[in-house]
């Protein structure tokens, strides 16, 4: 049987593929330093879990309104108003099965075959695949590492033509951790209004900002007719498995997204919605705790990367990812690109990272610091040993004994000799 042309346009998430390979190693009882998953290692806070248990006990286990229970939508718009000064109404809020469903529905509702979508690159892998699936033509806007992956309204404007329908901005950013300044976001929205486009602002990491940056939502803008905010409970409340997200946007767009929802998932899980309600209405201390912990881990990751010769990394100011450039090592060991390097890091050093090729760049790897400091420290230690091994092999090949000596004295991890590193970058 022939499957559809539409489904053949897309592939399984590269991130999922990497995570599956990592999972296989775990099954083989290999001690893996897992810096791959973009998933908080924190448990879902207790008061949220208790609300779900209560929902089950009270038999809140039936279909709900397609777009989510009214109390939750009300609580979401109220919290958004409190945090950002916005004035969305309940009718401008749709609860979805994770932020992913909101992105999927929005693109399906907005795009015609051949419509162009401007997507800054690097980009979260799912954006590209959904654009293709929905029939759109991705127009990649390459951002520059030397400019800290900044997204400029002016650069977006240069790509706009009569076929352009949609622009996607994601700040704080997966995978770079870059943050678009509020003033630039406003300029991008002004562009969308001027050119009659839809702007999707993916704000799934909006509470994880560091270095004095304050949470910001473009939803605080007065003119929102061309704006769809996508947000999620997954990261903010460590609720990845519960599958709750939401969208704030123009009623007509939401009504059409709702049509699709009514014929696909019906409604977000009833129990998870009650848990989400407790998350929004309850204390936000857990979010503050996670933010403080991520900042601490971010600093550790940056410190570790800075101690590895040849690695450059733009400082991430938000989300929980670092996106170092590892191209220094490509020529040294016949490594073609970040995919080959990530594969070897996994197989030889037992460190899981996601190659930049998943996000549209060949020279980077994504390190997630949504994992324990133990994993981070071990991962950095093994990476340092792995890179040292590559250098040693290279120097050996070049017959340069003096450089070899210099490198041997530079153990880049915790200071332990290479041979003592468990799981072993040296293997
Ligand atoms: C940028 C971005 N948007 C949206 C999502 C979707 O998250 P979920 O579907 O779990 O809400 C993710 C998840 O990794 C993400 O990184």
What's the rounded mean pLDDT across residues 232-261? 98
Mean pLDDT of all residues belonging to the chain: 90
What's the rounded mean pLDDT across residues 50-59? 98
249 alpha carbon – ligand 1 mean position (Å): 18
240 lines ligand 1 (CB under 6 A): yes
Instruction: Give the CA angle between residues 238, 240, 243 to the nearest 5°.
Output: 125
DSSP reduced 3-state for 231: strand
397 alpha carbon – ligand 1 mean position (Å): 44
100 lines ligand 1 (CB under 6 A): yes
Q: Is 70 exceeded by the pLDDT of residue 196? A: yes
| Burial class of residue 414 (count of CB atoms within 10 Å of its CB; 0-12, 13-18, 19+) | middle
pLDDT class for 210, splitting at 50, 70, 90? very high
223 vs 29 pLDDT, higher one: 223
pLDDT class for 413, splitting at 50, 70, 90? very low
Tokens of 309: 């010769």
Ligand 1 atom closest to Cα of 240? Answer: 10
Q: Is 90 exceeded by the pLDDT of residue 427? A: no
254-277 core/surface letters (b: 16 or more CB in 10 A; e: else):
bebbbebbeeebebbbbbbbbbbb
Ligand 1 atom closest to Cα of 233? Answer: 11
Closest residue CA from atom 7 of ligand 1: 99
Closest residue CA from atom 4 of ligand 1: 99
User: Which of 234, 242, 246 should be mutated for ligand 1, with most atoms under 8 A from CB?
Assistant: 234
**Whole-number Å distance between alpha carbons of 80 and 78:** 5
Per cent of the chain over pLDDT 70 is: 92
Write down the pLDDT at residue 424.
30
pLDDT class for 15, splitting at 50, 70, 90? confident
Q: pLDDT tens across 149-159, in order?
A: 999 999 999 99
pLDDT class for 242, splitting at 50, 70, 90? very high
- pTM of the entire predicted model: 0.90
Q: Is 90 exceeded by the pLDDT of residue 389? A: no
pLDDT class for 399, splitting at 50, 70, 90? low
Sheet with 93-96, strands from edge to edge, namely: 93-96, 245-248, 227-232, 198-202, 164-170, 116-121, 137-142
233 alpha carbon – ligand 1 mean position (Å): 9
Q: pLDDT tens across 322-363, in order?
A: 999 999 888 777 777 899 899 999 999 999 999 999 999 999
Ligand 1 atom closest to Cα of 38? Answer: 14
**Whole-number Å distance between alpha carbons of 94 and 36:** 30
177 lines ligand 1 (CB under 6 A): no
Q: pLDDT tens across 291-331, in order?
A: 999 999 999 999 999 999 899 999 999 999 999 999 988 87
Q: What is the largest CA-CA distance in the chain?
A: 74
pLDDT class for 18, splitting at 50, 70, 90? confident
234 alpha carbon – ligand 1 mean position (Å): 7
Tokens of 64: 């709900």
Q: Is 80 exceeded by the pLDDT of residue 75? A: yes
Write down the pLDDT at residue 23.
74
User: Which of 95, 98, 368 should be mutated for ligand 1, with most atoms under 8 A from CB?
Assistant: 98
424 alpha carbon – ligand 1 mean position (Å): 32
366 lines ligand 1 (CB under 6 A): no
pLDDT class for 409, splitting at 50, 70, 90? very low
330 CB-near residues (< 8 Å, 6+ apart): 336, 337, 341, 363
318 lines ligand 1 (CB under 6 A): no
206 alpha carbon – ligand 1 mean position (Å): 12
Write down the pLDDT at residue 11.
86
Q: Is 90 exceeded by the pLDDT of residue 73? A: yes
96 alpha carbon – ligand 1 mean position (Å): 12
Please give the sequence-ordered ranges of beta strands (E in DSSP) within 72-193, or none if there are none.
93-96, 116-121, 137-142, 164-170
pLDDT class for 128, splitting at 50, 70, 90? very high
């Amino acid at each position: 049987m022939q499957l559809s042309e539409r489904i053949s346009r897309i592939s399984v998430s590269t991130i999922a593929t990497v995570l599956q390979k990592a999972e296989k190693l775990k099954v083989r009882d290999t001690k893996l330093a897992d810096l791959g998953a973009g998933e908080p290692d924190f448990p879902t806070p207790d008061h949220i879990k208790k609300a779900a248990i209560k929902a089950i006990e009270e038999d809140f286990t039936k279909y709900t309104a397609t777009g989510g229970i009214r109390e939750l939508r009300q609580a979401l718009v109220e919290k958004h108003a409190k945090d950002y000064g916005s004035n969305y109404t309940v009718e401008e809020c749709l609860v979805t099965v994770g932020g992913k469903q909101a992105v999927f529905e929005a693109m399906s509702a907005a795009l015609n075959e051949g419509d162009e979508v401007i997507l800054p690159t690097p980009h979260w892998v799912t954006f590209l695949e959904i654009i293709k699936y929905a029939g759109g033509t991705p127009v990649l806007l390459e951002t520059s590492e030397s400019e800290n992956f900044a997204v400029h309204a002016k650069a977006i404007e240069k790509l706009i033509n009569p076929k352009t329908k949609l622009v996607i901005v994601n700040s704080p950013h997966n995978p770079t951790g870059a943050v678009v300044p509020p003033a630039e976001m406003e300029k991008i929205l002004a562009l969308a209004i001027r050119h009659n486009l839809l702007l999707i602002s993916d704000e799934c990491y909006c509470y994880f900002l560091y270095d004095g940056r304050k949470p910001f939502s473009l939803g605080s803008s007065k003119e929102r007719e061309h704006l769809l905010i996508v947000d999620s409970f997954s990261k903010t409340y460590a609720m990845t498995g519960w599958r709750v997200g939401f969208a704030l946007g123009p009623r007509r767009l939401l009504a059409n997204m709702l049509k699709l929802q009514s014929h696909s998932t019906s409604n977000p899980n009833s129990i998870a919605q009650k848990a989400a309600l407790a998350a929004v209405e309850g204390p936000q201390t857990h979010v503050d705790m996670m933010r403080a912990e991520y900042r601490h881990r971010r600093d550790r990751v940056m410190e570790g990367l800075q101690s590895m010769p040849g690695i450059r990394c733009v400082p991430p100011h938000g989300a929980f990812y670092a996106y170092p450039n590892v191209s220094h090592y490509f020529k040294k060991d016949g490594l073609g690109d970040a995919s080959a390097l990530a594969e070897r890091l996994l197989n030889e050093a037992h460190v899981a990272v996601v190659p930049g090729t998943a996000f549209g760049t060949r020279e980077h790897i994504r390190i997630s610091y949504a994992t324990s400091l133990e994993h981070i420290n071990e991962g950095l230690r093994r990476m340092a040993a792995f890179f040292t091994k590559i250098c040693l092999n290279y120097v050996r090949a070049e017959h340069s004994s003096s450089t070899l000596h210099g490198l041997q004295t530079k153990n880049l991890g915790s200071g332990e000799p290479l041979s003592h590193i468990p799981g072993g970058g040296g293997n």
